[in-house]
Structure 1
């Protein structure tokens, strides 16, 4: 960039954050614009990259709902994730592609970001972390299960963050400072990677197994984050949890409003599904917008005042 100083150059890096690499010894502040390209969103795959999110839509757009997935097709789509190769070539063996991707990621990107002596142990760590996707991040528990130091687990998670493999979701508090001192949840960035690391290969296994809820939550979070990120924005997404046990999966902060979102595996609407969202709305009535209970089916209906039962396809 020093030699060729022309305006408008593009520098494409791999899955690591090149600005964190030791090879970049100078500051590029004020000289570059950084755009993260995450795996494809469902909007991009469908050829509708500019379709607004549900809470951004006006009434006319809301009346024109998207074609929902049937359950089997939805889980087939989720298993393939969002990377271009398995997404655009449905006839190819996506399990083989993910296996090769993980191996390449371990051998090149991980070693370039941080010296990790035992790659086999790191791969076991990946699978252990995948089994906890959507849960509170308990470093001590993971370190105990793997027989390694807590500091090693912290370092490995920083590698995953730097290479966009995981997202740390912070809890929402009205006091911004408190968001940084509470335990975050960990989510994998790509649902296909999550399914591969947890050994899920067919739709029935994914839906009926213990990871079904985590998979759908990962898919919902991924769609929200990718939609904002690919516009060039910085998504503000949190979760909400009280000491009394009330919890909302996702709180999206947009245009000075808060959108609470719960994710349920059941496609049968029940008013009780809205209880945590209504509690959140009661606690923060001035800034909270309509809430959504997202599910894998095709029913779109109000659950109660201020909460809608929404198909995943219509986020």
Structure 2
């Protein structure tokens, strides 16, 4: 009762910030320590990532000794925009500037100030619009700022908190955004509002798209192609716009951390490989919501279940690489005759082929494409990731890994 009485003394927005900070303490983000180390080595730390992924919480938790300033506040935005030099002097000892891309005129003054002071760990800047933030950093803060990309919660972070892993359909339905995991809101209500806010606000900021209904149609068509080879011409025809517009709109989704392109692995001696990328969503909860799959039954019965499971696995591996600062690229490989490996990982100079199946049981036919890759590149090993509950070594050094173990890949 004392806790509720305490919370009642706060404005409602402050309560949500308190809940987010509590979640951050309960579920320690893997990038907390990386953010501290990076700040000691650079004058400025730039934290990017999608809206509501926990960037503000990270800033307040890791850099709690710095003043926190959000340019979402219109009064603060106007003050910084009208007198940037005075604004920087007001926070001359350092600060956290959140959503700084909204004040592009501030970057040149920030550059002058950090160069004058000379020391590291001066400012933390953050923003949800990666395109605008990177554009301003490359123009004014190159060599002075280091990037940290914070994606929604990862399976590994949740496993360390929960001690075990829920079934994959739970994550397909709910996704990994902190607000949903913390049960501040249901996925069924939160995710469509997130998408609506993104389209009506962020899309306008990145690119002046007049027909938002047409853009919404494009997003739904893109979701239906998750895990498929990106065919810009086909997507343009179905949306009712030209190819150039589709390419620009995909870049908008990428810069906002809604989707990413998985590039094909290409080697000069293999002339028959498909050279177009595949399209994936960072968050499978958002993907399923866009597809209208809002229940476990609908997801399990969907003809896209296998593609959604593949998206889940690949996105978790992508998060792991961000969170652990692992070097090496991620690809897929498909040739013109239909041979395909879902994922190719670069690690320590080696190639690791990965096949992803939504089934619970291993079948010998599941290894067909992995063996093709082994013959093509004269290697041993590889991974088959499915919904099995036990890991086991198969033939030719291939490991069968249960989906929950993807947190350690």
TM-score bucket of the superposed structures, by smaller chain:
0.7 to 0.9
Kept in 2, the 8 Å contact 1:41–1:222? The answer is: no
The aligned residue for residue 257 of structure 1 is 350
Q: Residue 330 of structure 2 aligns with which residue?
A: 237
Give per-residue Cα distances to partners, 1:86-111, cap 9 Å, x unaligned. 1222x731121111111111122111
Tell me how far apart the structure 2 counterparts of residues 110 and 278 of structure 1 sit (CA, whole Å). Answer: 44
Q: Which residue of 2 aligns with 1:38?
A: 151
Matches of 1:192 and 1:83, distance apart in 2: 9
Structure 1 unaligned residues grouped into runs of 5+: 49-65
1:159 maps to 2:252: yes
TM-score (norm 2): 0.66
Matched, 1:88 2:190: no
**Matched residue, 2:76:** none
Shift of 1:12: 1.5
Distance 1:42 1:4 in 2: 40
Q: Is the 8 A contact 2:359 2:387 kept in 1?
A: yes
Equivalent-residue separation in structure 1 for 2:171 and 2:393 (angstroms): 27
Structure 1 distance, partners of 2:374, 2:363, is 18
Give the aligned partner of residue 294 of structure 1. 385
Q: Is the 8 A contact 2:111 2:140 kept in 1?
A: no
SS at match of 2:280: strand
Computed over aligned residues only, the root mean square deviation of the Cα atoms, in angstroms, reads 2.5
* Equivalent position of 1:74 in the other structure: 168
Contact kept in structure 2, 1:80 and 1:192, CA below 8 Å? yes
Q: What is the CA–CA distance in structure 2 between the aligned matches of 1:47 and 1:37, rounded to whole Å? A: 18
1:14 has 2:107 as partner = no
Task: Find the residue that maps to 2:233 and give its secondary structure.
Answer: helix
Decide whether the 8 Å contact of 1:169 with 1:184 is kept in 2: yes
Whether 1:115 aligns to 2:205 is no
User: Higher mean Cα deviation, 94-103 or 39-48?
Assistant: 39-48
Q: Which runs of 4+ in 1 moved over 6 A?
A: 176-181
The 5 Å alignment of 1:174-213 reads 174-175=267-268, 182-213=275-306
Q: Are 2:361 and 2:387, in contact at CA under 8 Å, matched by a contact in 1?
A: no
Alpha-carbon distance in structure 2 between the residues aligned to 1:204 and 1:261:
28
Mark the structure with the bigger radius of gyration. 2
- Cα distance per residue 1:206-257 (max 9 Å; x no partner): 1221111111111111111111112334551100112221101000111111
CA distance in 2, matches of 1:271, 1:85: 41
How far off is 1:4 after superposition?
5.0
CA contact (8 A) 2:265 2:331 kept: yes
**Is the contact between residue 269 and residue 303 of structure 1 (CA under 8 Å) also seen in structure 2?**
no
Partner of 1:57: none
Tell me how far 1:79 sits from its aligned partner: 1.8
Answer yes or no: is 1:306 the counterpart of 2:397.
Answer: yes
